[in-house]
A and B are shown apart, each in its own frame.
Chain A
Amino acid sequence: MDLTMIQIILVVIVAFLAGVEGILDEFHFHQPIIACTLIGLVTGELVPCLILGGTLQLIALGWANIGAAVAPDAASASVASAIILVLGGQGEEGVTSAIAIAVPLAVAGLLLTIIVRTLATGIVHLMDAAAKEGNFRKIDMWHIIAIIMQGLRIAIPAALIVAIGAAPVRDLLTAMPAWLTDGLAVGGGMVVAVGYAMVINMMATREVWPFFAIGFVLATIPSITLLGLGGIGVALALIYLALTKQGGSGGGGNGNTGDPLGKIIDDY
């Protein structure tokens, strides 16, 4: 479908917000479930974009910027694939191929964010100069410019995709044979594992592996919802922490409550 001028402007604004959040990681406008839904909202293709966002969110669950490492870029993946989904005009049918496009886009976005983070090195040198003069306004200004750069990182490619227009995007999507889109859907089901594996590798210790097993087995009972599983998980963690403490201070009993957390809270 073709977008009106107002819709195009709104799409570019959403893209800008996603780009900014791609670095800030605060409000989470760049998370697929938010970014895709917003694109869907402003273009009137809410439901297909919502489903796209949900699917991408599952793939991106484990993507996180840790230390200096940069994760595949959720912002560009979600914004660009949602725009392509809308332009393609296939509705929910197009979700699978949009996801297939999203992954290479996440890599492209990763390269862009590395470029912008390198450019920001120059900006902090300008901040150094401003600091020497004790100039607050200049520091504010350079910081805001750096943020705007990150926003443009997504807004410009988004505008380019819109400019290419519906027809080439649609041609690209319809040119994809069924074996390819179906195969990509099969792959998409497995790709989620990579994100989980990244997270597990960060957290796993001999001590916490049993909890993984319990979670895995309980999840086979379809009637327990995720929220319910969350409740069980919190309870297990609390029980475990309480039991380890009893083991440590057992037999002490000199009026010690054995609750350092409560003690710290009391002290404040």
Chain B
Amino acid sequence: MAEQLKLTKKDRVSIWWRSTFIQGSWNYERMQNGGWAFSMIPAIKRLYKTKEDRAAALQRHLEFFNTHPYVASPIIGVTLALEEERANGAPVDDKAIQGVKVGMMGPLAGIGDPTFWFTVKPILGALAASLALTGNILGPILYFVLWNLIRMGFTWYTQELGYKAGSKITEDLSGGLLQDITKGASILGMFILGALVNRWVSVAFAPTVSEVQLDEGAYIDWDELPGGTEGMRTALEQQAAGRSLSDTNVTTLQDNLDSLIPGLAGLLITLLCMWLLRKKVSPIAMILGLFAIGIVFHVIGLM
């Protein structure tokens, strides 16, 4: 019996590393096809020896392909298993391989986009940004290390999973696991988005709604304070006791909105943006528009 052709672990590690560059020659015609072929090269070298076989394999892997770059890994794994069977004489034709690739790339992109772009990235990004805004260098370091650990762990593990499970993985993924991951990611994502909209969309309306003259004793009477440090201490004590700093209580439009729920204005702007996006307004136009509104409202004293 002929010797079985088998991919070594070293081949698989090299394929995994090459798949990092899967989007490198992204193009409008066949999208990730160049990167896909680039990733498969170590396998083709191992499995096919004649020039004709190698040329056929390369051409077969330059077909159209596009998915989320990280979930390409399980698809690569399955394809490796199929190529291995084919090289050992199993009747796996080009159509079967292309069929598996195309069949998996849609649903898997459906997991990759919400999980990585809309859950992990906003959470890590917001966490890192909130550190960075205070000048803390840990922000970017944390982002870089965590992001790459998660990514590399995910791509290696799922590539191996795909390779071992072979063609069975498609069945598993179309079952409960796929739905659970997508749903879990979108729940977590929406929850965090709610929080982020509240914390980070900042809108402050300046106009004063009312000025109320306070009763005597409700504010710090600066003229009556003793001089020097003694006066400072008395003032601070009075402030801690709840006295106002000035003799009028100024309520701005923003205070009124905040007493409904803090962050309401930000929420309204977000909902407006969603509505505009659904009306096919370009995000770029909206960004520029919001800057314009910011300038105009600031100049007329509204914000």
A interface with B by C-beta (< 8 Å): 20, 23-28, 31, 33-34, 37, 46-47, 50-51, 53-55, 57-58, 60-62, 64, 66-68, 72, 100, 103-104, 107, 110, 117-118, 120-121, 123-124, 127-128, 130-134, 136, 139-140, 142-144, 146-147, 150, 179-180, 182-194, 196-205, 207-209, 211-220, 226-227, 229-230, 232-234, 236-238, 240-241, 260-261, 264, 268
Asked if A61 and B277 sit within 8 Å, CB to CB, the answer is no
Q: Tell me the B177-222 residues at the A interface (CB within 8 Å).
A: 177, 180, 183-204
B interface with A by C-beta (< 8 Å): 20-31, 33-35, 37-38, 41, 44-45, 51-52, 54-55, 58-59, 62, 66, 69, 109, 113-114, 117-118, 121-123, 125-133, 135-137, 139-140, 143-144, 147-148, 151, 161, 164-165, 172, 175-177, 180, 183-204, 261-263, 266-267, 269-274, 276-278, 283-284, 286-288, 290-299, 303
Asked if B273 and A24 sit within 8 Å, CB to CB, the answer is no
Question: B185: which A residues are within 8 A, CB to CB?
Answer: 237
Asked if A233 and B191 sit within 8 Å, CB to CB, the answer is yes
Given A34-B144, A120-B26, A57 contacting B128 (CB threshold 8 A): yes
Asked if B195 and A219 sit within 8 Å, CB to CB, the answer is yes
Asked if B41 and A136 sit within 8 Å, CB to CB, the answer is yes
Q: List 4 A-B pairs, minimum CB-CB distance, nearest first.
A: A187-B294, A215-B194, A54-B132, A183-B295
How far, in angstroms, from A217 to B278 measured CA to CA in the complex? 25
Asked if B25 and A146 sit within 8 Å, CB to CB, the answer is yes
Asked if B292 and A187 sit within 8 Å, CB to CB, the answer is yes
Chain B contact surface mostly: helix
Asked if A24 and B20 sit within 8 Å, CB to CB, the answer is yes
Given A140-B41, A194-B286, A54 contacting B161 (CB threshold 8 A): no
- Tell which of A50, A117, A196 touches B132, judged by Cβ atoms closer than 8 Å: A50
Asked if A186 and B132 sit within 8 Å, CB to CB, the answer is no
Question: Which of B59, B195, B290 is the most central at the interface, judged by chain A CB atoms within 10 Å of its CB?
Answer: B195
How far, in angstroms, from A232 to B110 measured CA to CA in the complex? 24
Question: B25: which A residues are within 8 A, CB to CB?
Answer: 120, 123-124, 127, 142-143, 146-147
Asked if A117 and B26 sit within 8 Å, CB to CB, the answer is yes
How far, in angstroms, from A184 to B290 measured CA to CA in the complex? 9
Query: Can you show 11 pairs from A to B with CB atoms below 8 A apart?
Result: A33-B143, A54-B130, A57-B129, A123-B27, A140-B41, A143-B38, A147-B24, A194-B290, A203-B118, A215-B194, A237-B191
Asked if A68 and B294 sit within 8 Å, CB to CB, the answer is no
Asked if B294 and A186 sit within 8 Å, CB to CB, the answer is yes
- Tell which of A67, A183, A209 touches B66, judged by Cβ atoms closer than 8 Å: A67
Question: A241: which B residues are within 8 A, CB to CB?
Answer: 180, 183-184, 187
Asked if A197 and B261 sit within 8 Å, CB to CB, the answer is no
- Tell which of A34, A60, A189, A202 touches B203, judged by Cβ atoms closer than 8 Å: A189
Given A123-B25, A261-B177, A183 contacting B188 (CB threshold 8 A): no
Asked if B201 and A189 sit within 8 Å, CB to CB, the answer is yes
Question: A27: which B residues are within 8 A, CB to CB?
Answer: 20, 144, 148
Closest to A239 in B: B187
How far, in angstroms, from A4 to B92 measured CA to CA in the complex? 59
How far, in angstroms, from A264 to B180 measured CA to CA in the complex? 12
Question: B125: which A residues are within 8 A, CB to CB?
Answer: 31, 33, 57-58, 60-61
Asked if A131 and B190 sit within 8 Å, CB to CB, the answer is no
Min distance, Cβ B108 to any Cβ of chain A, angstroms: 13
Min distance, Cβ B185 to any Cβ of chain A, angstroms: 8
Question: A51: which B residues are within 8 A, CB to CB?
Answer: 132-133, 135
Min distance, Cβ A137 to any Cβ of chain B, angstroms: 10
Min distance, Cβ B33 to any Cβ of chain A, angstroms: 6
Min distance, Cβ A95 to any Cβ of chain B, angstroms: 10
Asked if B34 and A216 sit within 8 Å, CB to CB, the answer is no
How far, in angstroms, from A103 to B241 measured CA to CA in the complex? 46
